[in-house]
Structure 1
Amino acid sequence: MNRKFFITSMLALATLPLSAQWIRTSTPNDTLRSVRSLGNGNVVLSIYAPEAKTVSIGGDIMPWGKKLDVRRADNGVWSVVVPEVKDGVYRYHFVVDGVNVYDPKSPTAGETSALAFIGSGKEFYAMKQVPHGAVARRYYESKNLKMTRRLHVWTPAGYEKSTDKLPVLYLIHGGGDTDNAWPGVGAAGFILDNLLAEDKIKPMIVVMPNGSIPTQDLEGEVPLFEEDLVKSVIPFIESNYRVMADKDHRAMAGLSMGGMETLETMLKDYDKFAYFWVLSSGWFANNKQAYANYQQQLNNISRNFNKGVRQLVFTQGGPEDIAYRNGKAMLRLFDKAGIKYEYTEAPGGHTWYTWRNNLYQLAQRIFK
């Protein structure tokens, strides 16, 4: 059978490896603000394109019938002042040497990648002719962060006409991503639709929160998310959806950085969940003080943890997974504490190829 190539424009962002580090030369792009309001109706739009020959601007923000000059500074930043811009929401893009370029510095830039669906259309993550659930974009107030935040929620086909209360899986993305990753490049909605149509999973609600919180370091971000999840996300879901609001009907899974957030939640809130899946993740093995603290915490909770948690599963994308060494080293702490767990690995590395398969597997095992 000939393989088909599907390209669909959807909001998505490829996950950045949690532990990836590199050294590069700084550029003006590092501190560039691509959209600046001067406060008098004038707005400055800028893009760093040092090798470009020509740059122009397109979109609703540009005055109709007028051509504005975009000028290049010596540092390679091209800028234009758009006059008389009223308060509102505008579409815009740069045209660099004749090619439309969406603003790489925009806060929404990470969600404008196209997705390439490559395959026969019969894969477990493909959109098939089955009843489809709904993926909703929801906003809630975070008590600890004191801001409005976004999450995505998958509800199964038929949920709207049903009166049944359902269990909930909280599914977390990796570092550099947002809550749009699992329903986008993760194809979570299609995976769950197909599994439910094949009667391979129990009807459930899947909540995909935003695990990314602007902080100075990962050590600060992870506990902030755990607090947000417990104090704001879970109460929001249980107030707005028909769910079974007890630990036996809650599960949590996270990949990479989301795995770190799953681990943090496990340590502090293991009595609120019956299922934990940690995907391609592990505590950093070179931090001896943190390792000692984790060992103590695991020792303290081990007895009650083993009694109350039905599943604790660790998965890795094989030795090529960048989290592989950290993950394997971390498991020795669980062994010493006597905490029961399962461990699996399969080729695929630290990629969505691995994590889509993880979701396919874990969804079939929880709430049964």
Structure 2
Amino acid sequence: MRLLIVSLFCLIGAQTILQGQYTPNDSLTTTEVLPGNKAIFRIFAPQAKSVKLSSDDRWENIEFKKNTLGIWEGTWKNVTPGLYRYRFIVDSVNVYDPQAPAAKNNPALLVISSGDDFFDMKDNIPHGAIAQRFYYSNALKQTRRLHVWTPAGNEKSKEQLPVFYLVHGGGDTDISWSKIGAAGNILDNLLAEGEIEPMIVVMPNGNFKTEKILDRVPLFKDDMMTGVIPFIESNYNVYTDSAHRAIMGLSLGGLQTLEIVMTNYDDFDYINILSSGWWISDTWARERGVIDDKVKRAAHLKQIAADFNTTVKLLYFTQGGPEDLAYENGMETLKLFDAAGIKYKYSEAPGGHTWMVWRQNLRNLAPLLFK
């Protein structure tokens, strides 16, 4: 049964909301390879006086022109097949392509810490490994990437481990939990302190191109159940039953997680939803004239409630306090679960819809898994 699920954080990425007004840069394709050995380069720089392209390799003289939206565009012709490092020079300043996948994989990070915080890399403990893996998704008809954290010593261990699937939010990718989320450090520290069981943590990519952003929700469910989980269970020494399988998602990833578990709840004994809900809030819906079928959702929850309560060991919702962008949405979702009689735990932490909150969520909730 496929349920139509709508959320504010699916319609508009949380990062876009937090950063402010939408600009052409938010959806800009900065490089495009065309037939005939041509490549187009674009950058959004509405106030710039000049834009050039530079690389370690030899470039032809590429002329950039600015359109009325403030986007500069230049075409490189007669391109020899190969790999090329490049950067823009905007008014004599080197600018690395902010929209390039490589830039998103290696964001600039500022760490402010005492050196002994729960998210720090500590010198006196063993460290696990974070690997990027590739698999073919039948649901999406493409090769996809995910990241996997394995605990220290796993390379030589024959121990069968449980699996924890950790899903990012709408503006991020599979690398975000291990970068800005500091998941590797948090898990290393928890394991060294004896607070979590040894486990494998899988960070899949819930972000991909669709005509409508809402289409990502059911498609990701299909990818998870037919692509990600079978790949992990075929390539890692893990348990394959629900008692040894957990899932956690934040914001849009929380919505995607709910889509997965509401129809596959017997596959996960541990479910965690961070800063998210199962539909758009009433206020948001009224402002935009959107109709959401809560009656259908309520009926589904009542239908599965008894079996859900028996099957699922832990359902945990969190919010970043009343300042969380998902707060109203999340509160309305809890009312729906209350009405159905579905058991859950709930907590709040101040900080809003931010990674500061979600890192703390991971630190607090991971020790509850596989107990």
**TM-score, normalised to structure 1's length?**
0.89
CA spacing shift, 1:310–1:77, aligned 2, 3 Å: closer
How big is the shift at 1:215?
2.0
Structure 2 residue 331 is matched with structure 1 residue 334:
no
Distance 2:265 2:15 in 1: 24
**Maintained 8 Å contact 1:18/1:256:** no
Amino acid at match of 1:302: A
How does 1:166-315 map onto structure 2 within 5 Å? 166-282=161-277, 283-286=279-282, 289-315=292-318
Gaps of 5+ in 2: 1-11, 286-290
CA 1:326/1:91 → structure 2, altered by over 3 Å: closer, same or farther? same
SS of structure 1 residue aligned to 2:318:
strand
CA contact (8 A) 1:62 1:82 kept: no
Structure 2: distance between partners of 1:217 and 1:32: 17
Deviation of 1:104 after TM superposition, in Å, equals 3.1
Residue 149 of structure 2 is matched in structure 1 by 154
Deviation sequence 1:55-98 (CA, Å, 0-9, x none): 221224533xx7x2533345344344434321122111101122
The question of 1:35 aligning with 2:31 is answered: yes
Which of 337, 351, 354 aligns to 2:354? It is 351
**Aligned residue type for 2:84:** Y
Question: Which of 42, 49, 53 pairs up with 1:53?
Answer: 49
Q: What SS does the corresponding residue of 2:306 show, helix, strand or coil?
A: helix
Cα pair distance change 1:16/1:23, threshold 3 Å? closer
SS at match of 2:94: strand
CA contact (8 A) 1:285 1:291 kept: no
> How far 1:277 moved relative to its partner?
0.5
Higher helix share: 2
Identity of aligned residues (%): 51
| Counterpart contact for 2:16–2:22, Cα < 8 Å | no
The match for 1:317 is 320
How has the CA–CA distance of structure 1 residues 270 and 20 changed in structure 2, closer, same or farther, with 3 Å as cutoff?
same
Q: State yes or no: 1:72 paired with 2:65.
A: yes
Count of aligned pairs: 350
**Where in structure 1 are there 5+ consecutive unaligned residues?**
1-14
CA RMSD of aligned residues (A): 2.3
Which digits, 9 at most, give the CA deviation of each residue in 1:2-51, with x for residues without a partner? xxxxxxxxxxxxx9418949996875x57754334453334332323232
Question: Are positions 1:96 and 2:99 aligned together?
Answer: no
CA contact (8 A) 2:52 2:64 kept: no
Deviation digits for residues 321-343 of structure 1 (CA, Å, limit 9, x no counterpart): 01011101111111111100011
Report what 1:366 is aligned to.
369
Q: Matched residue of 1:367: which SS?
A: coil
Change in 2 beyond 3 A, CA 1:17/1:78: closer
Maintained 8 Å contact 2:119/2:182: yes
Counterpart of 1:133 (choices 119, 128, 136) is 128
Structure 1 match to 2:9: none
Alpha-carbon distance, 1:166 to partner: 0.4
User: C-alpha offsets along residues 245-283 of structure 1, whole Å, 9 cap, x if unaligned?
Assistant: 100000000000011011111111000010000000012
CA contact (8 A) 1:61 1:85 kept: no
1:54 shift after superposition: 2.8
Secondary structure of 1:153's aligned partner: strand
Note the C-alpha offset of 1:119: 1.1
